[in-house]
Amino acid sequence: MAMPPKIHDQISFDSPPATDAGKKTKTYLQKLNCDHKIAVGLSGGVDSSLAAALLIQAGWEVKGITLWLMSGKGSCCSEGLVDAAGLCKQIGIDHHIIDSRETFKKEIIETVVNDYKNGITPLPCSRCNRSVKFSTMLDWVTNNLKTSKIATGHYARIHKAKDRVSNIDLPGKSEGRNLLLRGVDKSKDQSYFLYDLPQSVLERVIFPLGELTKKETRIEANKLGLRTAEKSESQDLCLAEHHGSMHSFLDAYLPPKEGEIRLEDGTLLGKHDGIEHFTIGQRKGLGVSWTEPLHVIRLEASENRVIVAPRSKAGKSICNVNKVNWISIAPPEQPINIMVQVRYKSLPVQAKLIPIASEEKGFENNHLSTCRLEFKEEQFSITPGQAAVF
């Protein structure tokens, strides 16, 4: 059993990092060509806490900022504010709280509820990163702290195209771009949720934990005696954490609405109390029985109907994706072979990406926003509302 960290009222940053990854990160941060003034987005967890500590170790002038998104329990709520404030006091930096509850309600809560109501399974974390967190923090620090950069505790990396290592062979033009790379810890990598960040944001963001594993993060935080060093992991989705479950969150906003559960041939199997409680690929909790296990393959919002089928009929080999944000390469003019991830916890799989250009916009200036994916093997759980990250 891990020993709890030794808590100090004031942290000393005189000793070197405890791990090779920590030492590498310190050197990288020291050599970055900028004014070394930064604000760190703090959630009250160990990851963002260590991001701030590593920057201080590297000699940066650091401020702490926390977005207040909801009242109550959770890392994005009042509870997280208290832990973030305590951490800032411990490491000796200023802490600023930005009240973003109205923005979060409009951009995330209302859109998420509306999506579920219409049979779509949204990806609120990615939307929040672009529409709430990063944009709000960058605007605030520019206007109030007179600095241009922020850092967060995400496990991801950003490289300049001209600085990329030679073994990254990209199938398209990448000159002058900020490349978004996975974090080295594949089990914690969060680049999937960052796919929608534009170049203007990636230019001003630093991810100090990109080269660290979660284990190394704990080691570094324990050595420093950070008060958050052994804080337990939060759930991936703050809405579920805040309400106890995603089911409870949706029940708080959508009244029960009885509908049918049917096979593709129209066979009625049972009833449900709201399509918002179902998602493509779901097997458990359907409330119906059949001669073989069934999975949700379609949600028909207009009819308030859930369509199910055996797994053998649930795969798809083709899908279209829209609202594509081209990060590491310019929009391709020809089909390219890619690896694509269609769910956060799914593995990347082989596919061919075929660009679909509109007559009005063509391929210039990142206007290519729709593509077709042809998978090498049929995929299970391709879900409207989720992200396909190449």
Which parts of 140-257 are beta strand (E)? Answer: 150-151, 156-160, 178-182, 205-206
Q: Whole-angstrom Cα distance, residue 71 to residue 81?
A: 10
How far is the C-alpha of 72 from the C-alpha of 75, rounded, in Å? 9
> Of 256, 284, 255, 287, which is closest to residue 271 (Cα–Cα)?
287
Instruction: Say if CB 163 and CB 125 are below 8 A apart.
Output: no
What six digits make up the tokens of 253?
């906003």
Active site residue 77: no
Cα–Cα distances in Å, from 286 out to 249, 266, 293, 340? 19, 17, 10, 29
CB 259 within 8 Å of CB 305: yes
Task: Quickly list DSSP for 166-193.
Answer: TT---SS--TTPEEEEE-S-TTT--GGG
Q: Which residues of 182-207 are buried (b: 16+ CB within 10 A; e: fewer)?
A: bbbbeebbbbbbbbbbebebbebbbb
Owner of token pair 């987005």: 41
Q: Which residues contact 205 (CB under 8 A, 6 or more apart)?
A: 134, 149, 150, 151, 152, 158, 197
Q: How many CB atoms lie within 10 A of CB 138?
A: 19
SS3 content of the chain, % helix, strand, coil (to 5): 30, 25, 45
Options 125, 128, 319, 371, the catalytic residue:
128
Residue 282 has φ and ψ, to the nearest 5°, of -60, 135
Distances (CA, A) of 246 to 29, 112, 130, 364: 38, 11, 22, 40
Q: Given 76, 125, 238, 319, which residue is catalytic?
A: 238
Residues with catalytic annotation?
128, 238
